[in-house]
């Protein structure tokens, strides 16, 4: 198996392409994120269709052709040093068959995003390139912690993260090392059976999600089980499960680490004994700390919980 390639570290003054591969955004939604990029000493370069709005059953950031054009420009433009998605939403799957990495292969760049961007990150790791599963340029309704952005810039500048988190009662203890794959559970599920699905063999899987009914969460977990994912992975990290379920009397409805969602996941994993950590601060949550898809990660869960790159 080919080793995963890490893009080179950025230096002050480097250009970061800002593109919208999925849902539409307006200028006010990116204002704060663009200011942060500039304050760190980098130059945001806006994709031609960054603010385009194309309505076709969903508010996309342009037609498929327009979004593909921006993505391939960002991948292959020599002056661009990193690519930062404006937001997720829906639409990244439209791009997969038309992505081009000709010049990117000679000059790999960090790709930053989460949510629907899981699709792009799966594509990149299939081509042996690491990426950052972290906060988009657009800040969501629940806001973003300052540390979430700071840690992303640390990775861009060559500093790998080390995390220590609180222990959950749902955890399965153990120590394991492996390559990290995953992202948004709905997209991991959507890619199953396609040529663009993650390779789960001997990997540590990360999952997070937002706004799913509990039965839909259960359906996705069963699908991963039936596909043999849980027989292949070495460990599992579970992040935010935000606004899950539609039961209005559910006291955890607005919680980022939904206890009932965790219970559903835990029940589906009972027959497996790999280390499992719940409550990792990544996902559709305020404290969205970046993970590196494709990196070797050490997962430790005993008296304390550590996730180190």
Residues with active-site annotation: 115, 208, 284
Task: Please state, in angstroms and rounded to a whole number, the distance separating the CA atoms of residues 196 and 257.
Answer: 29
Q: Give me the residue label for tokens 């194309």.
A: 54
Is the distance from CB of 121 to CB of 194 less than 8 angstroms?
A: no
Structural contact between residues 296 and 176, judged by C-beta atoms closer than 8 angstroms: no
Token duo for residue 96: 């997969």
CB neighbours of residue 110 within 10 Å: 24
Contact 243, 251 (CB under 8 A): no
DSSP β-ladder status, 131-133 and 291-293 = antiparallel
* β-bridge pairing 162-165 and 305-308: antiparallel
**Whole-angstrom Cα distance, residue 215 to residue 246?**
10
- Residue 120, classed as helix, strand or coil, is helix
Instruction: Tell me how crowded residue 125 is: count the other CB atoms within 10 A of its CB.
Output: 21
């Amino acid at each position: 198996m080919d080793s995963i390639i890490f893009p080179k570290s950025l230096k002050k003054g480097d250009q970061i392409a800002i593109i919208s591969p999925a849902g539409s955004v307006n200028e006010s939604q990116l204002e704060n994120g663009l200011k942060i990029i500039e304050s760190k000493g980098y130059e945001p370069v806006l994709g031609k269709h960054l603010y385009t709005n194309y309505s076709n059953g969903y508010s996309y950031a342009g037609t498929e052709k327009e979004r593909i054009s921006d993505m391939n420009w960002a991948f292959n433009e020599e002056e661009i040093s990193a690519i930062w998605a404006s937001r997720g939403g829906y639409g990244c799957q439209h791009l997969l068959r038309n992505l081009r990495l000709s010049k990117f292969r000679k000059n790999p760049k960090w790709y930053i995003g989460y949510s629907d961007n899981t699709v792009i990150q799966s594509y990149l790791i299939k081509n042996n390139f690491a990426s950052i599963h972290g906060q988009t340029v657009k800040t969501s309704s629940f806001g973003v912690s300052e540390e979430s952005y700071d840690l992303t810039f640390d990775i861009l500048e060559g500093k790998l993260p080390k995390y220590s988190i609180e222990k959950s009662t749902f955890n399965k203890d153990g120590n394991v090392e492996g390559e990290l794959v995953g992202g948004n559970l709905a997209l991991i599920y959507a890619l199953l059976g396609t040529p663009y699905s993650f390779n789960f063999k001997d990997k540590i899987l990360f999952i997070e999600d937002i706004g799913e009914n509990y039965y839909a969460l259960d359906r996705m977990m069963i699908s991963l089980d039936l596909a043999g994912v849980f027989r292949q992975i070495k460990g599992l990290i579970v992040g935010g499960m935000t606004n899950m379920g539609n039961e209005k009397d559910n006291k955890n409805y607005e919680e980022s680490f939904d206890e009932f969602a965790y219970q559903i996941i835990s029940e589906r994993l009972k027959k497996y004994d790999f280390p499992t950590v719940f409550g990792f601060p990544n996902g559709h949550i305020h404290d969205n700390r970046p993970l590196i898809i494709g990196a070797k990660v050490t997962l430790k869960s005993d008296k304390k919980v550590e996730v180190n790159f």
